[in-house]
Structure 1
């Protein structure tokens, strides 16, 4: 009887100990699974948001970091602008006075063999979100001449002329002339003549006059129109337009 009582006492004393150990292990495993699921869900949501932002940037609205002062005072170094990629998607084309972002490959920059594809992809993705400076082939300039226009600089009063009409370029950097280089060109159909607002510091269509293409940028190389300033907060808002080209008539036969 004493032996049986001792066995029963040992069984009772061991039961409370065994129970918590098993429960503790179960709780630990469950917590690990919950943590793992939470991390997995967070990573998935992060990838989903990044993909959505990249798609939105690729087809609708792209942030663009201004890397130089060639468009001052309209755009300053470090500004982050929003490029409207739908502006020219439905039959519309760039107009004189528009500030646009474009790929200068073949017009402003010579085509070169591709380098590190992965590195280019990562940098391109970061640039498309406005996190780093754009690629060296991306430019932001103002459209001064469209297909068929005759653009001349300068007239007797030192003004730019488009199709024989003088242009009062109020957006130019204070102290700048319309151009320090004289030119008289006719813009071929389907291309654009681009110039920066800070003419003395802008490398634009004028710098490529003697090269193949003559500095003309194909319309299909235009990424989109700069419609808004997104940063800094003190300059937040839509980009101010210009009526400098309002009186310009389309090119006639005698302008070609």
Structure 2
């Protein structure tokens, strides 16, 4: 969806559902109000991810520590894994606008495309991004909605601190929106920079740390919404900045930075 594809950020899941029942006892649930509601009725069969105590269906964000300062993260909806990641531990940084669900729900991710998912139609992710922006669950995002829905979003955005740019895109209105608050007000950049410097080799971490430091007095709205060529500018920003601006977990961003640096 727009958070990923329009900005060149497509997250790849690890297909690992066959291990779910044997490793579930190692997972720790991290509650998150972004977790999609479980289906009602019996029209959707639950997936294989179950708790070891009683076999309850897993639902939410789960993490477990791994050797060598790594962490494994899975998002599960009604027993079906939607994303599954390994990355370096980054323990200092936390923020309510950053969540493992943000890339999943913004892009419509699922580990197995054949499995059931919470996404009901082609505009589901666009509507989710629009709502997440209004409720402060993401600092920045791009979505496309029918004109009537977009107009309602414009009216609701008043007083939220969001700044947006909108244009017609066929029968839809495409919106790029971000908060006017500065990065230093939104995030503990010192903690995040320290995590990157510890998690990655210096030659990879230092450019990302410098880019984050340079954004202290900038804001997603002024830098990536209102400036000329804002979306192109955003797509060219360092990965640590793009991930943070979209509200993506830094350990997943760090894993991508390391992966892109490996020889092909």
Q: TM-score, normalising length from structure 2?
A: 0.26
Q: Using CA pairs under 8 Å that are at least 6 residues apart, name the structure with larger relative contact order, 1 or 2.
A: 1
Radius of gyration: which is bigger? 1
Q: TM-score, normalising length from structure 1?
A: 0.26
